[in-house]
Structure 1
Amino acid sequence: MTVIKRLGMWFGLPAILIALWWASTAQGVNFFVPKPDKLAATFVNVWFSEKFFSDVVPSMGRLLISLAVSLVLGVALGVAIGLSRTLRWLLEPLLEFIRAVPSTILIPVLLLLIGINDTMKITVIVLGCLWPILLNTIEGVRSLDEVLKNTALVYRLRGFDRMRYLVLPGASPLIMAGIRHSLAVGLILLVVSEMFASTDGIGYSIINFQNRIAIPEMWSGIFLLGIIGVLLSVVFQAIQKRVLGWYYGLKEASNDG
């Protein structure tokens, strides 16, 4: 029954929306909104071809590299700032200033400084994805459970052991929340950067289809982004369940108690 409920949650609403879409387009031809069967055929023809390797693969490479860089920088800086009141006092005004500047605004500047290449697009994505991870890591480190801190003192955990067994596990729920937020931000910034300045990628293809008035192809790119977003969410949830298994177990034990 649980599996059936989950399938219903995943596919129930999309099935209803597709049925409504089909009904609304069945009576006539709308140039700007293709029928579902037309869109499905276009999707297969466009993306199950060489475009998968020429556009999808480069986009996913940029996104994954950007997320990896954001994760390393965000966690490292977040732990350092979270553990040090002095660093927080010195860096907080600067961090708030930089965070307030949307990374998309920097695209013209980065184009002048770096040029139209992958480094520019990765920089744009990192500048957007870094903040959810960084801020959540700082908050996670600052809000470590006092019982865990006292336990670490009793067992004389210092240096790397303290980081491994206390700081990172204690902050991991908020860190994972920041990563999940960064996934959505990264996908948006990927598309925007490719639309503004690129010669390949999903965003480039969508804007190119629009310029050519290839409406079904343009919609197929939009649906591809939705599918990628769902797949990233599913993979992340599986990783999160494994990484935070101890946390969910602790919560269940607390609720049972």
Structure 2
Amino acid sequence: MLEAFRDAWIFDRFTSDVLPSLLRLALGFSAAVIGGVAFGILLGVSDVARMLCLPVVSFLRSIPAVAMLPLSIVLFGIGTGQKVSIIAFVCCWPVVLDTADGIASLNSTMMLTARSYQVRGTELVRHVIIPGIMPRIFAGMRVSLSLAVLLLVTSEMVAATSGIGYFVWQAQLTFSIPDMWAGIILLGLLGYGLNLIFNAVERRVCAWDTSMKGNRR
């Protein structure tokens, strides 16, 4: 297995499978975070938007992720766009809900103080709301990151011509057991490495939040 891991991921398959998977993961996760934070802020600051959209959000996030794969293949084919779209769609909802709930739980004194100093509109969002809800945003991002890796592998197994999931699926079909385990080991290392990077970024961005220091893993 170690020899297969070395031959596949250090030499032969790095550019053809690893890089495409990392690109799909980065694009889909980034789109989910950006769209999720923006939509979550809208739901959090507008009671009307929250009342109208929250039932739809609850319905969409309840749809099993794998059930969206056939529809995404019909709409986007089997290329990179399909993987990015399915990751972005499924992974945005935890970020949306945590962002909206974070705004709802903001300290009322802080918000009243900001308004008394005429801090409104985009300045209020940039300097008060986003820093105040950053721990909740990262909580949603943590859930989304796990979903993103799962959806990446699943989508590459179902419809792809490259990627780590495609490699593992082809190794299983051809009974190449060492290659299959080499792919599984790489996925485990990928998840572990992403978690380390995520923790480092979270500690740096949320260094002011003393309540979370004992809970980070």
CA-to-aligned-CA distance 1:201-232 (integer Å, 9 cap, x gap): 00000000001100011011001001011110
Q: Write the mapping of 1:113-132 to structure 2, written as runs, cut at 5 A.
A: 113-132=75-94
CA apart distance, 1:154:
2.8
* Contact 2:57–2:93 under 8 Å retained in 1: no
Q: Which amino acid aligns with 1:235?
A: I
Q: Aligned residue for 2:165?
A: 203
1:44-82 Cα shifts (integer Å, max 9, x gaps): 111111301100000000000011100110000000011
Q: 1:232 aligns with which of 167, 180, 194?
A: 194
Secondary structure of 1:60's aligned partner = helix
Q: Offset of 1:98 from its aligned partner?
A: 1.0
The partner residue of 2:109 within 124, 143, 147 is 147
Q: Which has the larger radius of gyration?
A: 1
Report the residue type matching 2:130 in the other structure: L
Q: Match for 2:174 among 212, 225, 232?
A: 212
SS state of the match for residue 49, structure 1?
A: helix
Q: Following TM superposition, by how much is the alpha carbon of 1:112 offset from its aligned partner in structure 2, in angstroms?
A: 1.7
User: Is structure 2 residue 14 aligned with structure 1 residue 52?
Assistant: yes
What SS does the corresponding residue of 1:245 show, helix, strand or coil? coil
Q: Which residue of 2 aligns with 1:34?
A: none
Give TM-score, length-normalised by structure 2: 0.94
Query: What is the rounded CA distance, in whole Å, between the counterparts of 1:112 and 1:151 in structure 2?
Result: 51
CA shift for structure 1 position 150: 2.2
1:217-251 deviation digits (Å, cap 9, x = unpaired): 10110010010111101111111111101113x77
Matched, 1:174 2:136: yes
Residues 65-104 of structure 1: matches in 2 within 5 Å? Answer: 65-104=27-66
What is the Cα deviation at residue 153 of structure 1? 2.1
Partner of 2:150: 188
SS in 1 for 2:85: helix
Aligned length: 213
Q: What stretches of structure 2 of length at least 5 have no aligned partner?
A: none
Among all aligned residue pairs of Structure 1 and Structure 2, give the percentage whose two residues are the same amino acid.
Answer: 38
Question: Over the residues paired in the alignment, what is the CA RMSD in angstroms?
Answer: 1.3
